[in-house]
Structure 1
């Protein structure tokens, strides 16, 4: 079970963008993150320290040996939790639900931005959905399989092969529903 302090630290909007940047670039210098996210260096430094306290990022070795620059990398690439994990603490359960909502907003915001600009590119995205019967255990198994597939797909990408790549975002939700 994730600690609630980690969940709440990650789901601040700017911290989520910092995490996304580090996920794509592996390591990055504070100034480069600030430029990429159109934010102030001091603000990025503050949020990196908050993520460091939560155990999500750590300072990285400076690639060129120049100790004046502050470089960072992710040490956690995923979190898994449910608000039901915090049933013993109504306050923590509330914070976990708020983080779930923030996560969904983040995902839908990305999808809406794509739909606003997709007509300006010849690159296709994709959508998929499914409806099936499942026990809670089978639904959990599906989630684990999807996560494993994404991890495997990421690991198979050879970023040194000379191909030009762009950031892509994938999200999926599986949940009980009514027809």
Structure 2
């Protein structure tokens, strides 16, 4: 059964398991689908089912995904689901050794590169989306003057707001309100910089 909340990743082995380019794509696709088979996911990532199955097993070995209850009468199908509502990876858990810091940096770069690719895909496909969706799609930059605790508080407030909207949307969808609903990616970065 899927655990509530995000699962903290604090060890390098699990971080490296997730930070494989194909595994991260599979994990993200599984989070969107909620439950899927290797065949469903292979179609989405354009890879062989055997390769996808291998990488799903690796994610499961690290507790990132788990087997889900069968969704069809075909007993040969193995269904998977994320083992939690997401993952959280904190810099503080990887600062105590250079190899841990390097693994964290490499993983973070991969995650950001994949997010950028997702946004670029939206930009390329923008003409296929309705005017309403294009008007709703957010792209903004704010340059603030904050302390580290203020940035942390801002992040906490944004995450609470995001969770509220996610719960609202999922509840409405569970009640049958699917009209006009699409998957939405929201990427929020807050970081210090010097000029």
TM-score normalised by length of structure 1: 0.90
> What displacement does 1:131 show?
2.0
SS in 2 for 1:113: helix
Pick one of 157, 169, 174 that aligns with 2:185: 169
Q: Which runs of 5+ in 1 are unaligned?
A: none
Structure with greater proportional strand content: 2
Q: Distance in 2 between matches of 1:68 and 1:103?
A: 33
Query: Who is 1:49 aligned against?
Result: 57
Partner in structure 1 of residue 4 of structure 2: none
- For residues 172 and 101 of structure 1, what CA distance do their matches in structure 2 show? 15
| Residue of 158, 171, 175 corresponding to 1:146 | 158
| Structure 1 residue corresponding to 2:43, chosen from 35, 45, 51 | 35
SS in 1 for 2:86: coil
CA drift at 1:65:
4.5
Task: Report Cα offsets for 1:11-33 as digits up to 9, x if no partner.
Answer: 22211221222112211122111
What whole-Å deviation, never above 9, does each CA across 1:25-84 have from its counterpart, x for those lacking one?
211122111122221111111111111111110001102343211000001333333444
Q: Which residue of 2 aligns with 1:133?
A: 145
CA RMSD of aligned residues (A): 1.8
Q: Structure 2: which 5+ runs fail to align?
A: 1-7
Q: Is 1:102–2:110 an aligned residue pair?
A: yes
CA distance in 1, matches of 2:18, 2:100: 15
Q: Secondary structure of 2:89's match? A: coil
Q: What is the CA deviation profile of residues 81-129 of structure 1, one whole-angstrom value per residue up to 9, with x for unaligned ones? A: 3444322211111000101111111111112122222133323121122
Return the structure number with greater relative CO, CA threshold 8 A, min gap 6: 2
Residues matched between the structures, number: 179
C-alpha separation in 1, matches of 2:123 and 2:149: 34
Partner residue of 1:9 out of 12, 17, 29: 17
